[in-house]
Amino acid sequence: MTDNQSQMNAPDLNPDLKLKHTIHICPDYTDGIGTEGQPYGYPRVDHILQHIPDETVVRFKPGVYPVNSIRLPNRSALICTDGKAIIRQIPNYRTSGNWPHVRTIRDSNWCHLFYAYGLIVDGNYPQFDFGTVAGNSKVSPLVVKTVVGKVENCEVLNFGANGAGYGNQGLECFPLAMETISNGPPRHYEHRYLSLMSERTSFLEITDCKVHSPHFSNGGYCTGIFVKTNQPASGDRQEFGIRDTWSARIHNNEVEVPGGIAYGVAWAEKVVFERNRAVRSKCAFNLDTGKARHLIIRDNQFIEINQGVNVSVPCHGMMVRDNVFEMTEPFFNRVTNKTEDFYAVRHIPEDSSEISGNLIVADWLPSLIIDTKGKFLSETGNRVHRPMRSELSDSTALTDCQVELDKVRRQLLEAETSEKELKGEVIAQRVKITSLKNQEVKLKAAIQNASEALGEVLPD
């Protein structure tokens, strides 16, 4: 892909767009009327956030706001803060209408325009006690389908997933997720909202946001920041290959999700990820659903990760360039009891793809660029630094180190298996003790009955 192709103009979003209404909200118990001097307060706040009028700017005063959810109108809403405002999910299992998949800020089946600035969205996952729920359950704090949308300077935390209902095979939550259409508005869309942009088309932007503090159990995981632009779900969607401007730009964000995926897309066309950070996460970037065209991942920093960029579906015009990959070690999946593939980039090779200018810091494998079948590909055009290998005097020492690593992993697996067996024995002994106690109670009752029949009272 040429530089000209990678520098298509992105539509400019204007956060000062004027809408018809502005309402002010404070965290106090007050009978305000929604003005800046007399803001709405509790107990009206939750009702107001469930029924936001169209063309409304919602401004939060600093404070903590326990809410069931914020339900966006079908047309437009801008949500911002006048300070540090924390939107905290109330642990209500039926909040989102899709029990038990809870969403704190959500659309009402597509929004025409959505803009959020300065919010701290707390999914409050630990308070749900999902660990005791037999089925699958997850909390995704900000999930919005919108034609035009921007999330800026926001923080999303305390989300999670419990995959017990999936047989521990994985249940994915999406802490900060946005979806748009491919090229232009859907039917019945009012074009005057497109005055927000220099290009009269759909567009998403996520910038200067932080996503952290996940909670996973029974195979649950997440994709921290996720966008979708082209899923052919209805007649409103356009085919791939029509669009000539970006559909989404994700930049200057930071995601930390140990055991999860930092960034991802599905059904995506002309999406750019640039100048982001993924820290202490299992996988930096993932695309494994649908198809994609012109996906650009550049100038990012992926620090202390187990896996880098995974693109396991065909993607015409993919660019992975000028990124820093600081790899840790292969990821051992405790659910499947398997060590997963270790790579900086894994993809389906195409002539239109470019993987160049990346700095990869890692050991363990002969090559850190592979195809989806695990075949090693050329690292030409990238800088690869293997610190452990540079410190070892010869290849024999490296082999010994790798053998020792495999030995430690086997011992770890044996110890975990032994722990499970011991837990099983403890449970069996507890069942036996309970049974014996029940027998004891029955025998005492029989002795008591017998003694009463004999006219004697025996001691306990």
**Which pLDDT tens digit goes with each residue over 291-307?**
888 999 999 999 999 99
Q: In DSSP terms, which residues pair with 305 in a beta bridge? A: 327
Question: Tell me: the pLDDT tens digits for 41-88?
Answer: 988 887 888 888 888 889 999 999 999 888 888 777 778 887 789 999
Does 104 reside within a domain? Answer: yes
pLDDT in tens, 180-204: 876 554 444 444 444 444 445 678 9
- Mark whether 37 and 171 lie in a shared domain: yes
- Beta strand 203-207 pairing with 111-122: unpaired
Across 95-99, 104-108, 393-397, the highest mean pLDDT is recorded for 104-108
Sorted by sequence, the CB contacts under 8 Å of residue 454 that are 6+ apart come out as none
Q: Residue 270 domain-assigned?
A: yes
Query: What is the rounded CA–CA span in Å between residue 375 and residue 365?
Result: 11
Report yes or no on 347 lying in a domain. Answer: no
Q: How many residues does the chain have?
A: 460
| Cα–Cα distance, 353 to 189 (Å, whole number) | 36
Average model confidence (pLDDT) across the chain: 80
Torsion of CA 340, 344, 346, 352, to 10 degrees: 180
The neighbour count for residue 394, using CB atoms within 10 Å, is 8
Of 256, 281, 306, which closes a domain?
281
Q: What backbone torsions phi and psi does residue 71 show, to the nearest 5 degrees?
A: -100, 115
Assess if residue 55 is contained within a domain.
yes
Structural domains of the chain, count: 2
Which of residues 398 and 204 earns the better pLDDT score? Answer: 204
Stated pTM of the model: 0.79
Contact present, 265 and 287 (Cβ < 8 Å): yes
403, 266: one domain: no
> Are 273 and 419 members of one domain?
no
Q: Are 270 and 413 found together in one domain? A: no
Per-residue pLDDT tens digits for 358-386: 999 987 676 788 888 888 888 888 988 87
From 236, 265, 281, the end of a domain falls on 281
Do residues 58 and 87 make contact, with C-beta atoms less than 8 angstroms apart?
Answer: no
Helix-then-strand count for the chain, H and E: 4, 34
- H or E element, residue 136: none
Query: Is there a contact between 327 and 306 (Cβ–Cβ < 8 Å)?
Result: yes
Dist CA 102 CA 108 (whole Å): 14
18 and 164 belong to one structural domain: yes
In a domain, 343, yes or no: no
Looking at the fold, whether 267 and 405 belong to one and the same domain comes out as: no
Domain with 441 in it: 396-460
The two tokens of residue 428 are 């069996």
Query: Do residues 295 and 242 touch, judged by C-beta distance below 8 A?
Result: no
Alpha carbon distance 238, 183 (integer Å): 6
In a domain, 267, yes or no: yes
Q: Of 220, 252, 281, which residue constitutes the final position of a domain?
A: 281
Does 318 fall in a domain? no
How far apart are the C-alpha atoms of 175 and 122, rounded to whole Å?
10
Same domain, 277 and 407: no
> Per the domain annotation, does 188 fall within a domain?
yes
The answer to whether 81 and 58 are in contact (CB under 8 A) is no
Query: How far apart, in Å, are the Cα atoms of 78 and each of 20, 88, 117?
Result: 11, 18, 8
Is the omega angle on the peptide bond into residue 387 within 30 degrees of 0, that is, cis?
Answer: no
